[in-house]
Amino acid sequence: MSFLSRCALALFTLVLGTACGAQTLPPEVAGALARARVPPDAVSLLVLPLDGAPARLSHRAQAPMNPASVMKLVTTFAALDQLGPDFTWKTRFYIDGTLDDGVVNGNLVIRGGGDPKWVIERITADFQALRERGVREVRGDIVLDASIFDVPAHDPGAFDGEPMRPYNSAPSGLLVNFKSVLLGFVPDPASHTARVTSEPPLAGLTVDASVPLSSDDCAGWRGALQADFSSPDRIRFGGSYSVRCGEQIWPLAYADPASYARRVMAAVFAASGGVLDGQVRLGATPPTARLILEAPSLPLSSIIADVNKFSNNVMAQQVFLTLSAQQRGQGSFAASREVVMHWWRQTFGVRGPRAPVLDNGSGLSREGRISALALAQLLRTAAQRPTADVFEQSLSLAGVDGTVASMRERGIAPDALGNARLKTGTLRDVAAVAGYATGRSGRRYALVGLINHPNAPAARPALDALVEWTVKDQ
């Protein structure tokens, strides 16, 4: 970059009081911010060597910023530190009555333990295990107990007006398959239609089996379907599907989340060969009920990998709520905030970085705040724990997987590919990244970049440039 170009960038960063000979930000980062029209006072950056040396780069590192999904690092490290990598959730099946020759004379009770990933494959396996324990008919009801979490009423469209987006699903003590539906579309040119598939099975839901084919461009294929989700009992399509799209999957939050678990339980129990004389309903576990099956979840080490690599909001909230459920018998957002604040004080001390402002533990929040300094200190502390490898492996590998796989396509950080494990965050007005990087020198760093500005989405290249600059440390 020429001297005049450096001066032009310096003029853009006058708010920092910088000059041509004492530029605060790396030129690559400053240039990307200038192109996105994001001023440096909307940015917080910190690159901290893990060996305890002074920061390599520090820019507004103590400013409280909205980190979006990068806040999941607080939730997942707090959980790993307090519960351990082998912690599992338990979904318990009880008989409230008697079991005689395969018949439950009474109710079958399913008590959720807060499992963040009780998905259809595992639900089906658990029902099969229940059948192997002799449960073939229930002459009563299937009762669903989600009381381990106390969560407020949830409007899935309140956050951003997108109630059908799975990331807006609410947590539950008995979270079933993320309360989502996967619609599949398979073109069949011979019949001039696309076959429509739907999973998981939901009792009482019918889905149009096919939709007419078109030869239109594939862009905007979801809108072209003219899907009608207004009824929880029927999904209709008034449009067409382009043959040029090939096979596609459309994940959706179910239109009536309150009935989702009941519908899935009824359908899966029937599919496993079970006969239900009553209904599926919500309720409590009677103290006299007898445990017949305990189904463990995947271990926490696996759960946090899904949370961080794929930024799963509802899974993050399940983990967050579990922190207070394990200590107090029932989890709530307020109680979990208290638990994390206590853990933060114990971990970093009263003179440590300012504690984050937490909401629901996922970063899907307008109120959440944390500084780059606090995040970097968290990363450095996590790197010193016996669980360091588990935590780092839960982050996405730059250019390879998870939410940072697209770094390869953007082409801004070629040296960073495979040399950084990162968590990203994106909201309206927020772009963020945090994680670990290995420099060419072999030195290891914790790095954090937070941008809060209306043009933040356009400044993602600046965060890529920050990662690349960190890796090219020689």
* Amino acid type, 125: A
CA dist 236 and 39 (Å) reads 47
Question: Hey, what are 362's tokens?
Answer: 């996922």
- Tell me the whole-structure pTM to 2 decimals: 0.93
Give the Cα separation of 464 and 48 in Å (integer).
Answer: 17
Query: Distance between CA atoms of 73 and 111, rounded to whole angstroms?
Result: 29
Residues near 287 by Cβ (< 8 Å), separated by ≥ 6? none
Nearest to residue 395, comparing CAs of 51, 117, 69, 52?
69
Q: How many CB atoms lie within 10 A of CB 63?
A: 16
CA distance 359 to 354: 16
Q: What whole-number distance in Å separates Cα of residue 167 and Cα of residue 452? A: 21
Please give the mean pLDDT across all residues of the chain.
94
Q: Is the pLDDT of residue 8 over 70?
A: no
Query: Who contacts 30 (Cβ-Cβ below 8 Å, separation ≥6)?
Result: 9, 12, 13, 23, 40
CA 456, CA 33: separation in Å to the nearest integer? 9
Contact 115, 145 (CB under 8 A): no
Paired sense of beta strands 206-207 and 234-237, if any: parallel
Task: Note the pLDDT tens digit of each residue in 363-419.
Answer: 999 999 999 999 999 999 999 999 999 999 999 999 999 999 999 999 999 999 999
Q: Work out the percent of the chain whose per-residue pLDDT is above 70.
A: 95
Question: pLDDT digits over 321-368, tens only?
Answer: 999 999 999 999 999 999 999 999 999 998 899 999 999 999 999 999
pLDDT tens digits, residue range 146-181? 999 999 988 887 888 887 888 889 999 999 999 999
**Buried/exposed 165-195: b ≥16 CB within 10 Å, e otherwise:** bbbbbbbbbbbbbbbbbebebebeeeeebbe
pLDDT at 23 over 80: no
- Give the mean pLDDT of 122-133: 97
Q: Map out the domains of the chain with their CATH numbers.
A: 3-85+301-471 (3.40.710.10), 88-298 (3.50.80.20)
Question: Contact, 470 vs 445, CB < 8 A?
Answer: yes
